[in-house]
Structure 1
Amino acid sequence: MSLFKKSAALIVVLLILDQVLKVWIKTHMMLGEEFSVFGDWFLIHFIENNGMAFGMELEGEWGKILLSLFRIFAVCGIGWYLHDISTKKAPLGLVISIALIFSGAMGNIIDSAFYGLIFNDSYYQVSTFMPEAGGYASFLHGKVVDMLYFPLLDGRFPDWLPMWGGEHYVFFRPVFNIADSYITIGVISILLFQRKYFMKEHK
């Protein structure tokens, strides 16, 4: 099996894992519900967002459309690059890293493009798949499902601390999904091992 076919198989597996968890969350939990996986520091907490990784977003309806279109163009570019480096037998670590980034971007695109069409909303109800009344949004206007929450530290800043004294804090606050994790791991891997991955270019 060629390196490109292996990377494609990895992408399929990663996408299945991402989508299976998202669909389960969407069809078993109401928005805002949570349950503990390990104590108080690893929770499944169901939220949805309109935007990028870790809940960041562009404001307004046009911001959502622009973000979705940018994702699609970005995924096309990443896919082309993945095919290029795979056929040129680039380092395996680089191929896996790009495959992770591609999988993460594609996973969130699926949410944005199709979830609004195939699910009803999750406000005060458990969403259903292919509801008779139709979905909650049009094509490219779906929301990304997030659920992984790691509030490792929860407390208050000391009163003597300037600006934030006495305020409540939570670390790590963002709620994210598996697709976001793929992107983060892929990017960190490239940053850590860039000299090894791009040795030929450096020479």
Structure 2
Amino acid sequence: MIPFLVVSAVFIIDRITKIFAMKFLKGKVVTVIPGFFSLVFAENKGAAFSILSSSTGAGRFLMLIAFPAVIIVALIYLLLTKKEYPLYLKISLSLILGGALGNLYDRIVYGTVVDFLDFHVGKYHWPAFNVADIAVFIGTVMLILNVSGKEEA
């Protein structure tokens, strides 16, 4: 039940925040912390850091739709069939799944992923990202820590 709640929460929060960004941030920059954090509307036609944003055809489809869909199916399978997994591992997989679903939804429905969180320090600028990206990142870090912790034990 907890994995379902985590996946649902990530997906719903991601959708709500992206709808907000599409409705209120187009053509605007809302400075939250001057010189550090802003809310913007950005469309990412590629993968992380806009990789593959200018590619077209079958390769683009495979990398941005088919590959994530296969990972989503694998994560669902693991969460539904591996009841013996510890809660920590289930939560990490659920965070990754919820984020993957959020970004795949955007790619299928809009043809692009909506990003809106914009961090920068001076001339250094991190690419804009979204709630789904945060969930995938946190879930991946948790997964790595879980796996590396098992090997040390």
Q: TM-score, normalised by structure 1?
A: 0.68
Cα deviation digits, residues 49-96 of structure 1 (max 9, x gap):
1121232225114343222111111111111112233x12x2211111
Opposite residue 108 of structure 1, the aligned amino acid is N
1:7 to 3, 12, 20: 3
* Structure 1 residue 56 corresponds to structure 2 residue 48: no
Identity of aligned residues (%): 28
Question: Which residue of structure 2 aligns with residue 179 of structure 1?
Answer: 132
Question: Which residue of structure 2 aligns with residue 189 of structure 1?
Answer: 142
Higher CA-based Rg:
1
Is the contact made by 1:146 and 1:177 (CA closer than 8 Å) also made in structure 2? Answer: yes
Cα deviation digits, residues 83-124 of structure 1 (max 9, x gap):
233x12x22111111101101110001101113xxxxxxxxx
| Whole-angstrom distance in 2 between the partners of 1:54 and 1:103 | 19
2:117 is paired with a residue whose SS is strand
Q: CA deviation at 1:17?
A: 0.3
2:39 to 31, 39, 44: 44
User: What pairs up with 1:22-101 in 2 under 5 angstroms?
Assistant: 22-31=18-27, 33-57=28-52, 59-66=55-62, 67-85=64-82, 87-88=83-84, 90-101=85-96
| Whole-angstrom distance in 1 between the partners of 2:60 and 2:116 | 21
- Structure with greater helix share of residues: 2
**Number of aligned positions between the proteins:** 151
Note the residue ranges of structure 1 that are not aligned, 5 or more in a row: 116-141, 155-168
- Bigger RCO of structures 1 and 2 (CA < 8 A, at least 6 apart): 2
Question: Which residue of structure 2 aligns with residue 150 of structure 1?
Answer: 119
Opposite residue 17 of structure 1, the aligned amino acid is I
Opposite residue 77 of structure 1, the aligned amino acid is A
Is the contact made by 1:55 and 1:175 (CA closer than 8 Å) also made in structure 2? Answer: no
RMSD of aligned Cα (Å): 2.0
2:52 is paired with a residue whose SS is coil
Q: CA deviation at 1:35?
A: 0.6
